């Protein structure tokens, strides 16, 4: 996780002048929790302008608890994703119908037409919390369900506090957004563990995980080694335009997903991102990351949220999209898989 213990295990991220680094803001959870209006406005502006921000979790009781949980989850990630292909294949996922379970490296196409290079294990929140009958996961996960529950509970508190700030700026009753992803309601919310092997010496810029936007409401991500990049809005999808996100100690990365862009009629930005091989000396190391991907509860639809004075109502005669978030997500995933839709940065107007 993003604490000094883990950062000390790798060479440092290269300095800013040698590679392009995204200029995203760092927000402070402690200030947001203390009700700072200034920090709250910075949060809203970051959600509109970038859709990506660092959140410093230190000096907040809940933030520090999540940092500790994250460290434990990194150990679990390691134990799980190094079980070996034969064992992991027994838990294979079945996209786009079922995204839970193991996705081995090499089964997805990336933007350059090559194969992806990232092993992923996706663990459902409902499975971990017992909202649905449990699914069988590899032994390290099964023997650490309690730890996974803690991680989810703590991550959710922090996500909810961000969503409560967004309610205020969107002129929505307090609790509107968090109510659409309440912990106890069934949803496709998941914890995703990702591992890409060290970079072969002769291949200096491999796309490990192709350009995409996150389909849900919001994502909280921990990484230590670099490699995550974003494509700034309006920039052409060519290599030089992709900017690295520099991982920072004590911070989680927060990004807005497509669902929030839909709900707000495009006010908030869902930004295209990808993972390439880590920069500089970090390329010699395997890269691990942990994402908490918050999706809306199953009964929610993708229609624009009504009420308040900030989200513009749909124009006269415009047709409401009344599909459920899950139906919409499956449709989008299929369109992307069939090459009918190219994911792009959306919203932030």
Exposure of 310 by Cβ count < 10 A (0-12 exposed, 13-18 middle, 19+ buried)? middle
| Residue 103 makes contact with ligand AKG by CB under 6 A | no
**By the 8 A CB rule, do 221 and 155 touch?**
no
Question: From the CB of 194, what's the least distance to ligand AKG, in Å?
Answer: 5
Question: Which stretches of 69-176 are assigned E, i.e. beta strand?
Answer: 101-103, 119-124
Q: Which of 254, 291, 300, 311 binds ligand AKG (CB under 6 A)?
A: 291
Burial call 184-203: b when 16+ CB within 10 Å, e when fewer: ebebbbbbbbbbbeebeeee
As a three-state string, the secondary structure of 39-93 is: HHHHHHHHHHHCCEEEEECCCCHHHHHHHHHHHHHHHHHHHHHCCCHHHHHCCEC
| Cα distances (Å, whole numbers) of residue 132 to 125, 128, 212, 242 | 9, 9, 28, 40
Site string for ligand AKG, 136-175 (x = CB under 6 A): ----------------------------------------
Tokens of 283: 């390329």
| Residue 273 makes contact with ligand AKG by CB under 6 A | yes
Q: Which stretch binds ligand AKG (CB under 6 A): 46-54, 69-77, 220-228, 232-240?
A: 220-228
| Residue 214 makes contact with Fe ion by CB under 5 A | yes
Note the Cα 209 to chain centre separation in Å: 13
Find the residue with minimal CB distance to ligand AKG: 289
Report the residue number, 165 or 288, with the smaller CB distance to ligand AKG.
Answer: 288
| Residue 275 makes contact with ligand AKG by CB under 6 A | yes
Q: Which stretch binds Fe ion (CB under 5 A): 40-48, 86-94, 167-175, 208-216?
A: 208-216
Q: Which stretch binds Fe ion (CB under 5 A): 48-56, 119-127, 180-188, 212-220?
A: 212-220
Report the residue number, 230 or 311, with the smaller CB distance to Fe ion.
Answer: 230
Find the residue with minimal CB distance to Fe ion: 214
Site string for ligand AKG, 170-209 (x = CB under 6 A): ----------------------x-x---------------
| Cα distances (Å, whole numbers) of residue 250 to 27, 28, 59 | 12, 10, 10
Exposure of 28 by Cβ count < 10 A (0-12 exposed, 13-18 middle, 19+ buried)? buried
Q: Which stretch binds Fe ion (CB under 5 A): 33-41, 101-109, 181-189, 207-215?
A: 207-215
**Residue 289 interacts with which of ligand AKG, Fe ion, none, CB < 5 to 8 Å by class:** ligand AKG
Report the residue number, 190 or 300, with the smaller CB distance to Fe ion.
Answer: 190
Report the residue number, 95 or 179, with the smaller CB distance to ligand AKG.
Answer: 95
Tokens of 243: 């900017």
Question: What is the torsion angle, in degrees rounded to the nearest 10, for the CA atoms of residue 197, residue 199, residue 200 and residue 202?
Answer: 160
**Residue 192 interacts with which of ligand AKG, Fe ion, none, CB < 5 to 8 Å by class:** ligand AKG
**Number of CB atoms found within 10 A of residue 306's CB:** 10
Question: From the CB of 291, what's the least distance to ligand AKG, in Å?
Answer: 4
Number of residues that bind ligand AKG (CB under 6 A): 10
Closest C-alpha to 208, from 217, 199, 219 = 199
Give the interface with ligand AKG as residue ranges (CB under 6 A). 192, 194, 214, 221, 223, 228, 273, 275, 289, 291
Give the interface with Fe ion as residue ranges (CB under 5 A). 214
């Amino acid at each position: 996780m993003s604490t000094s213990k883990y950062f000390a295990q790798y060479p440092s991220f290269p300095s800013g002048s040698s590679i392009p680094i995204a200029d995203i803001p760092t927000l402070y959870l402690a200030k947001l929790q203390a009700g700072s209006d200034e920090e709250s406005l910075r949060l809203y502006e970051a959600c509109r302008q970038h859709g990506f921000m660092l959140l410093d979790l230190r000096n907040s009781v809940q933030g520090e608890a999540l940092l500790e949980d994250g460290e434990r989850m990194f150990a679990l990630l390691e134990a799980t994703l190094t079980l070996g292909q034969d064992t992991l294949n027994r838990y294979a996922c079945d996209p786009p119908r079922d995204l839970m379970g193991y996705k081995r490296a090499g089964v997805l196409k990336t933007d350059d037409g090559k194969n992806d290079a990232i092993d992923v294990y996706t663990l459902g929140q409902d499975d971990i919390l017992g909202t649905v009958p449990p699914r069988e996961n590899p032994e390290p996960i099964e023997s650490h369900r309690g730890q996974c529950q803690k991680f989810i509970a703590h991550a959710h508190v922090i996500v909810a506090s961000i969503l409560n700030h967004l309610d205020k700026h969107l002129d929505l009753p307090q609790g509107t957004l968090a109510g659409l992803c309440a912990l106890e309601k069934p949803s496709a919310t998941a914890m995703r563990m990702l591992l890409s092997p060290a970079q072969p010496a002769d291949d200096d810029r491999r796309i490990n995980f192709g350009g995409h936007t996150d389909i849900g409401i919001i994502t909280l991500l921990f990484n230590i080694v670099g490699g995550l990049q974003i494509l700034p809005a309006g920039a052409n999808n060519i290599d030089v335009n992709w900017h690295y996100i520099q991982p920072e100690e004590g911070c989680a990365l927060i990004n807005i997903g497509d669902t929030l862009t839909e709900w707000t009629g495009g006010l908030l930005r869902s930004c295209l991102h990808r993972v390439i091989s880590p920069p500089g000396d970090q390329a010699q190391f395997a890269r691990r990351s942990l994402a908490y991907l918050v999706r809306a509860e199953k009964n929610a639809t993708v229609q624009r949220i009504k009420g308040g004075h900030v989200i513009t109502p749909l124009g006269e005669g415009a047709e409401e999209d009344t599909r459920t978030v899950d139906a919409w997500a499956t449709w989008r995933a299929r369109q992307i898989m069939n090459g009918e839709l190219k994911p792009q940065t959306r919203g932030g107007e």
